[in-house]
Amino acid sequence: TSRLVGKTVLITGASAGIGAATAVLFAKGGSNLILVARRIHPLKIVAEEAAAAYKASGLTEGGKIATIQLDVADKAQVASLLDKIPQDLRNVDVLVNNAGFAHGVDKVGSITDADIDAMFATNVVGLISITQLFVREFKARGAGHIINLGSVAGREAYPGGSIYCATKHAVRAFTEALRKELVDTKIRITEVQPGMVETEFSVIRFRGDKSAADKVYEGIQPLVAEDVAEEIVWAAARPPHVNIAELFVLPVNQASATLEYRGN
Ligand code: 8X3
């Protein structure tokens, strides 16, 4: 992990879940962090946790942390992102496009326009807009690493998930096209595709209904945010000539988006 020391990593959706766990793990490895999220208060708490993890590492290089309040779905805010990054963190090495969510499990015909727009705005258009900013930078510098959060839902669609699955399929297609576009560069592009991860993901999908969210993970041991963070940080820590193109990561008793075993 010494390859992470002094690297600057920008993470979207860093206020909770996989984004927050990834921030802490990069900090532990001596990376500098730019943490981006809509909710500034929880983001500041994650920044404090990351600072503590860096301190405990005993490393002397890296460990700079900045927080930026930003909604990746807001085009004007994305356009001003680069200006908000502190001068000493302007050379981003790794972009982790983590911000994303699902709203509802409604079937086609009953999905609100608000849910459709919100999921596409963040999961697809937001990810694309942020990526465009940094691809320009990475091309100019001839290096960089983009890590996109896909999902098992980007490989397989399921009932009640038409829009969410469509957004994650879009992430997969976008990532694949970009990998092909960047073939003649040193820029790396990775897609991490987790299955069930117990975060606030399901609470948000079920609009705050905690008991409905808990049912998703009943009888099965889901992944935790730290499991996925380990994959992300591992991909980032490979030598510069190695590109981890895709990482499909499931709980041991989940085989696909629609097949899991709950009897263990
Ligand atoms: C979330 C995984 O299976 O709930 O990305 O769609 S799933």
Pocket test for ligand 1, best of 103, 164, 220 (most atoms within 8 A of CB): 164
- To the query of whether residue 164 is one of the catalytic residues in this protein, the response is yes
The pLDDT value given to residue 106? 98
Write the pLDDT tens digit of every residue in 128-170: 999 999 999 999 999 999 999 999 999 999 999 999 999 999 9
Assign domain 2-116+128-249 to a CATH class. alpha beta
Instruction: Check 64, 168, 210, 261 and give the catalytic one.
Output: 168
Pick the more confident residue, 56 or 263. 56
Q: What is the mean pLDDT of residues 102-129?
A: 98
Q: What is the pLDDT of residues 192-209, one digit of tens each?
A: 999 999 999 999 999 999
Predicted pLDDT of residue 147: 99
User: Is the Cβ atom of 228 under 6 angstroms away from ligand 1?
Assistant: no
Interface predicted TM-score (ipTM)? 0.87
DSSP the chain: -GGGTT-EEEEESTTSHHHHHHHHHHHHTT-EEEEEES-HHHHHHHHHHHHHHHHHHT--S---EEEEE--TT-HHHHHTHHHHS-GGG-S--EEEE--------PPTTS--HHHHHHHIIIIIIIHHHHHHHHHHHHHHHT--EEEEE--GGGT---TT-HHHHHHHHHHHHHHHHHHHHTTTSS-EEEEEEE--EESTHHHHHTTT-HHHHHHHTTTS--EEHHHHHHHHHHHHTS-TT----EEEE--TTB-SSS-B----
Q: Is 54 a catalytic residue?
A: no
- Ligand 1 within 6 A of CB of 119: no
Q: Can you give the pLDDT at residue 2?
A: 86
As a whole number, mean pLDDT of residues 110-129 equals: 98
Atom of ligand 1 nearest to the CA of 165: 6
Residue of the nearest CA to atom 5 in ligand 1? 151
Query: pLDDT digits over 20-48, tens only?
Result: 999 999 999 999 999 999 999 999 999 99
For the CA of 195, the nearest atom of ligand 1: 2
